[in-house]
Amino acid sequence: MKMRDFSCEELKSLAVELPDEVSRYEAAGDFEGAGKVIDRWLEKPVGEAMKTRLRYEKYIIQELPKEFPDTEEEVIRKFREKLPDFSMEDLQRAERENMAEWILVDGKKHYIHSLMRNLTDKEPEIRRRLGLTEEVTEEDQYQQAAIREMQEKGEKAVRIRLKTSIRLKDENFVPGMKMRAHLPIPAWLSRTFDVKILNHAEGKVTVDEPTSMWRSICFEDTLQENRTFFVEYEYVVWTKYLDLWHGEVSGAEDFNHVRMKYVGDFVACLREQYPHIRFTPYLRSLASEIVGEEKRPMEIARRIYDYVTKNVQYSYMRNYSLMTCIPEYCAKNLRGDCGVQALLFITLCRIAGVPARWESGLYSNPAYVGAHDWAMFYVEPYGWLYADPSLGGSAYAEGDENRRRFYFGNVEPFRMAANHEFQQKFSVKKEFLPIDTCDNQLGEMECEERGFAEDELEITKEMISYEAL
């Protein structure tokens, strides 16, 4: 199914509940039947909001089974290739421990594609039986050293040079394709400076303004031979440490300039942002329980951060475009990856009256470069402060309270922030639904006929140089 780009306005329709008949077919795992029912309902006088919702649901039911590919038998077979004694009891324990998400497909349980990764990364018993040690990785060493330095010296600045690329896999290429590719690049934000585009692929090139909400470089070209689109850039990140846990907070004057200059209307960071940042009855109730009678904005944000980091289990997720209300999913299921946890924090803060917003791009230290999402919240007199609930939650799971507390108010300078708002548009329009409807971290690619899924692309991220300043 070809999906032309849904606008932010149209995506709001995800808040519309489906007809019961459609939901019953989907709950039973009969996606073919659900599709036929949707077609029938599209002929009924249900209003444009419902019709938009139904059209999007056709995309969801087409893609959702791909995210849950394996039956119980297939899961056990795949695990036994690495762990011969893996059993049905192990799988059932993973379900009880909230680590094995599944749906029904044609009446049978099918498990999320990331199940093996979730268990081998996060489940202690499985890791022990696989012989995986808990040694600190090189990536973790850089992270922990940066935290120590910031706590000791009060700040840290780095200059980073990255090269990212996107290419269509050869089996999907047809000569004469008119291609369009978007790659994220650093935005000039309050703590990102001296951004330079050093080199990029040929073709028609559009570079977004420095403070664009989703900053990217767009390539457009007709290809007779398959080739790679790439961009090489460098930037400086400076981060100041604030201890928000002990006594009076110093250094406020350094943050007074960090206002709404880069994010537009202040009130927008207190509003709902459908379909995901939505003040549902459950989230309102949860926020009220977490916050209690507390009126101080800093303490409200802290209570919400404590709740998320101490209660939500890290889990690799389905594609965000297949989710209808991400923070409510997180709150109801107490699991989620970095973006899911950040959205729960943001939504609860907004409900409680603390301005909060999205930021994302790449986590980039010398040992690792990968996509990452985090949050920011606003408290006078400090201005915008960071919160990284997923890294804080990982620290909590590992018993490292100092590191958990660090990520309330701070992040290390290993951030390439390309997106500083949630669910925006590209300046050069995409004609088809993006891989990620929430932001642009890894890149997007499409031709005149369709957009390409992540598994149809080759995406690379390479650190060229790293300099501590």
Q: Which residues, in sequence order, are CB contacts of 405 under 8 Å at separation 6+?
A: 244, 245, 392
**pLDDT score of 262:** 47
> Domain check: are 176 and 285 in the same one?
yes
User: Domain ends where: 67, 93, 112?
Assistant: 67
Average pLDDT score, the chain? 92
Q: What is the pLDDT of residues 24-46, one digit of tens each?
A: 999 999 999 999 999 999 999 99
Question: Taking the mean position of all CA atoms in its chain, how far away is CA 342?
Answer: 8
Inside any domain, residue 395: yes
> Domain check: are 464 and 350 in the same one?
yes
Contact between 183 and 205 (Cβ < 8 Å): no
The residue assigned the tokens 């081998």 is 120
Q: What is the C-alpha to C-alpha distance for residues 104 and 188, in angstroms, rounded to an integer?
A: 45
DSSP conformation class of 242? -
The more confident residue out of 36 and 191 is 36
pLDDT confidence tier of residue 230, bands split at 50, 70 and 90: very high
For residue 264, is pLDDT > 80? no
Average pLDDT over residues 376-392: 92
pLDDT confidence tier of residue 261, bands split at 50, 70 and 90: very low
Inside any domain, residue 16: yes
262: containing domain: 137-469
Residues of the chain with pLDDT > 70: what percent? 94
Inside any domain, residue 3: no
The radius of gyration of the chain's CA atoms, rounded to the nearest angstrom, is 23
Inside any domain, residue 1: no
**pLDDT score of 252:** 44
User: Domain ends where: 107, 130, 153?
Assistant: 130
Alpha-carbon torsion (304, 305, 309, 313), positive or negative: positive
Q: What is the C-alpha to C-alpha distance for residues 218 and 68, in angstroms, rounded to an integer?
A: 32
Q: What is the C-alpha to C-alpha distance for residues 94 and 116, in angstroms, rounded to an integer?
A: 11
Average pLDDT over residues 355-364: 95
> Domain check: are 237 and 141 in the same one?
yes
> Domain check: are 298 and 220 in the same one?
yes
> Domain check: are 181 and 120 in the same one?
no
Inside any domain, residue 415: yes
* Cα dist from 331 to 77, 99, 344, 350, whole Å: 32, 15, 7, 15
Q: Which two tokens stand for residue 59?
A: 């995309």
Q: Which two tokens stand for residue 31?
A: 């996606």
- Report how many domains make up the chain: 3
HSE-CB at 447 with a 13 A cutoff on CA atoms is 17
CATH number for the domain including 386?
Answer: 3.10.620.30
**pLDDT score of 141:** 94
User: Domain ends where: 101, 130, 159?
Assistant: 130
> Domain check: are 117 and 141 in the same one?
no
Q: What is the C-alpha to C-alpha distance for residues 399 and 396, in angstroms, rounded to an integer?
A: 5
> Domain check: are 48 and 182 in the same one?
no
Q: What is the pLDDT of residues 266-307, one digit of tens each?
A: 788 999 999 999 999 999 999 999 999 999 999 999 999 999
pLDDT confidence tier of residue 250, bands split at 50, 70 and 90: very low
> Domain check: are 147 and 121 in the same one?
no
> Domain check: are 47 and 79 in the same one?
no
> Domain check: are 350 and 420 in the same one?
yes
Inside any domain, residue 380: yes
Burial of 261 (0-12, 13-18, 19+ CB in 10 A): exposed
Inside any domain, residue 2: no
The more confident residue out of 383 and 208 is 208
> Domain check: are 226 and 319 in the same one?
yes
> Domain check: are 28 and 110 in the same one?
no
Inside any domain, residue 93: yes
Q: Which residues, in sequence order, are CB contacts of 281 under 8 Å at separation 6+?
A: none
Q: What is the C-alpha to C-alpha distance for residues 190 and 255, in angstroms, rounded to an integer?
A: 9
